Amino acid sequence: MTDFLWNFGSFVVALGILIAAHEYGHFWVARRCGVKVERFSIGFGKAIWRKTGADGTEYVLAMIPLGGYVKMLDERVEDVPEELKDQAFNRKTVWQRIAIVSAGPIANFLFAIVALYAMYLIGVPAIKPVIDSTIAGTPAAQIVVKEPMQVMAVGGQKVRDWEEVNLALAGHIGDSEVEITVAPLERLQGSESNQQHYILNTQDWKVNPEKELPITSIGLGMYRPAILPQLAMVSDDGAAGLAGLKVGDTLVAIDGEKYSDWPRFVEIIQNSANKLVTITVRRDGEQLNLDVTPKSRENAAGELEGVIGVAPTAQPWPENMKVQLEYGFLESFPVAVDKTWQLVSVSIKMIGKLFTGDVSVKNLSGPISIAQGAGNSADVGLVYFLGFLALISVNLGIINLLPLPVLDGGHLLYYFIEVITGRPVPEKVQEIGFRIGAALLLMLMSVALFNDFSRL
């Protein structure tokens, strides 16, 4: 229940901020074009707070935090007094109407830059994208790894951490090839002479984001610090905690099989859902045998797997693999602009791949997934929440530019047709378009919600 409230609260805050930015874009440009704005609302339904400003605009916070709107004076909607007709939206030139409608998505892109600027100004602790192996039978198997290698670029795009590698790879899903640039970690020293370029054949590269990241599906073996057999976390209400395991216990054996490594231990636990296993541990110089019955849960494939609620101790990350993505007052701005462009580019590519079938519609996410993402990022810290806001803001801007008549992009489509033909699109045609657009949008939202519930 606590997680739900935290996720919901984070979702409301995130959505409120993004909607305010989007609607303020419409509001600001409308006012500059001489349009009278009657209401600026964050949310729908019954107002929980309202105030009329000196400019005559009613500012509202409404009950349902799933959107917002800017109500402008418009003769197509209501009767307008003769003395106010020059302030009506429909009386403005087509280019002014285009500016007002496009200002919302543009404001989302600008907000993403601001959020990322603040994020890089504060500083983001990250891990360099270092590989120590590649996976046989994958596109990356041709990369020769004799020592830790740092991924320097993907498809010509420089990358600084694993998040950027994952983002860049996502943009190449469905492509026939992708270039990966790597260099030995210990011999980098800012020189490009040691860099090696590989063109990976990705014609048969299949990615299921629900099960694995593009990083692992393409075959890059991420370097991870060695895992020690000592337990660092034991959940009080987990199967291990209830059976008597404690933090600091050293794993010795499981069901008589000597402990070899953490992946093998996890494999045995996962294959023992609701089955008794004996875990041998060393505690204070004594060897203890504890009977544990792993609880069951459903994995991404819909299969039951065992879980006991423990985590091992890992050695610390080597200092030469850590990086602080932090920039100065001026330097943060171009970095934020570049990152926003990357997000825009990858998001557009992913939408295109949904239509070509390279990416499954199962990857569409709705409000539940967004709420979980908001809660998780807010839980980790401010800089990660800012990054989350930037990502969602970019996606909100792009979605609103889709040429569906109920969205900003649909209105822009009508206005550009008006620019070409010299006359407005007939209202009857617009009405039909709005109905079709609403049906398509409802269908997309239904798919996204279905995907959200299937992931719970």
The CA-based dihedral angle spanning residues 265, 268, 271, 277, taken in that order and rounded to the nearest 10 degrees: -110
Q: What angle in degrees, to the nearest 10, is found between the helix axes of 94-122 and 2-32?
A: 130
Q: Does an H or E element contain 151, and which?
A: strand 149-154
Contact 326, 120 (CB under 8 A): yes
Per-state percent for the chain, helix, strand, coil, to nearest 5: 45, 25, 30
Phi–psi pair at 75, nearest 5 degrees: -65, -20
Q: Which residues have a catalytic role annotated?
A: 23
Tokens 């600091």 locate to: 248
CA distances from 303 to 262, 298, 359, 413 (A): 21, 5, 23, 46
Q: Which residues of 248-264 are buried (b: 16+ CB within 10 A; e: fewer)?
A: ebebebbeeeebeebee
What three-state secondary structure class fits 62? strand
